[in-house]
Amino acid sequence: MKILILGAKGMLGSALAEEFKNGNEVLAWTREELDISDPEAMAGAITSDIDMIVNAAALTDIDAIEDKLDEAMKVNARPSAVLADICNILGMTYVHFSSEHVFPGRDNRGYDERGKTEPLSVYGSAKAQSEKFALENDRTYLIRTSRLFGDPGTSANAKESFVQDIKNAASSQGSINSVHDEVASPTYVKDLARSVRELVEAKKPYGVYHIVNSGYATWYQFASKVVELSKLNATVAPVARREMPVAAVRPRYGMLVNTKLPQLRSWEEALTEYLQ
């Protein structure tokens, strides 16, 4: 297949480019090569010989965009409409990524693929809108995932992974506070990328999929595991989100339930491998 990956210097884009390179022709485009918020540039650059477009480009600093609805829609939502349209016209497969932030997080059983979206933040609203756009193409894989960890992106703007943030804070401060009342599904970006390739290669029916490592964790549980596995001499203290306020409201229960694909290994096992 000839595969176009957008946002190819991001954390997920880099992992996908690596995963798909065997046996496929991969075009890995960065923001400099194609700005996805420019519809004309997209229509001009995407050629009909491409079989599949994988959109891993987005604004992912959830708090930074909480007061920037227009920008969030411009980058995180509308490009999905343009890409779905191009894929519809040219008969391409579209792979789009979304997140647990489309859900309200009130249900302590988490959310499966049919869960009703009701976002709490600007990021979540733009993602929910992007999902609707993406599904306007008949050949779309809409993949929701959560709390990605792994090697960070390689662009000049790439931020450190939160695993590294936890390690840095634990090493320098000896004790860290971590939120204990927000649960989600931590996911290793390499496991996600492999699972996306398997999904596509198996030619599974188009539609919505939840791809996450098995098990759930609060930030506190995750940070404690990072400190334990990294053998750092530091303590992790559980605190409520209200004691560590942020601009964007997060779902309290953001667990993504996968009812359609084989379950991935546990996040603890994946984190152990990543830290090794």
Ligand X SMILES: NC(=O)c1ccc[n+]([C@@H]2O[C@H](COP(=O)([O-])OP(=O)(O)OC[C@H]3O[C@@H](n4cnc5c(N)ncnc54)[C@H](OP(=O)(O)O)[C@@H]3O)[C@@H](O)[C@H]2O)c1
Q: What are residue 93's DSSP bridge partners?
A: 52
Q: Which is nearer to ligand X, 70 or 233 (CB)?
A: 70
Closest to 189 measured CA to CA, from 7, 15, 3, 4: 15
Q: What are residue 54's DSSP bridge partners?
A: 5, 95
Cβ atoms of 135 and 89 closer than 8 Å: no
> Which residues between 91 and 150 bind ligand X (CB under 6 A)?
97, 99, 145-148
Q: Which is nearer to ligand X, 110 or 153 (CB)?
A: 153
Residue 251 binds ligand X, judged by CB under 6 A: no
Q: Nearest distance from residue 92's CB to ligand X, in Å?
A: 18
Measured torsion, CA atoms of residues 69, 73, 76, 81, in degrees rounded to the nearest 10: 170
The alpha carbon of residue 13 and the mean position of all alpha carbons in its chain are separated, in whole angstroms, by: 10
Q: Which is nearer to ligand X, 188 or 220 (CB)?
A: 188
Q: Which is nearer to ligand X, 117 or 234 (CB)?
A: 117
Residue 52 binds ligand X, judged by CB under 6 A: no
Q: Nearest distance from residue 234's CB to ligand X, in Å?
A: 23
Residue 183 binds ligand X, judged by CB under 6 A: no
Residue 221 CB contacts under 8 Å (≥ 6 apart), including other chains: 180
Count of CA atoms in the C-beta half-sphere (13 A) of 192: 33
Q: Which of 5, 52, 58, 179 binds ligand X (CB under 6 A)?
A: 58
Q: Which is nearer to ligand X, 77 or 236 (CB)?
A: 77
* Positions that interact with ligand X (CB under 6 A): 7, 9-13, 31, 35-37, 56-60, 75, 97, 99, 145-148, 153, 155, 157-158
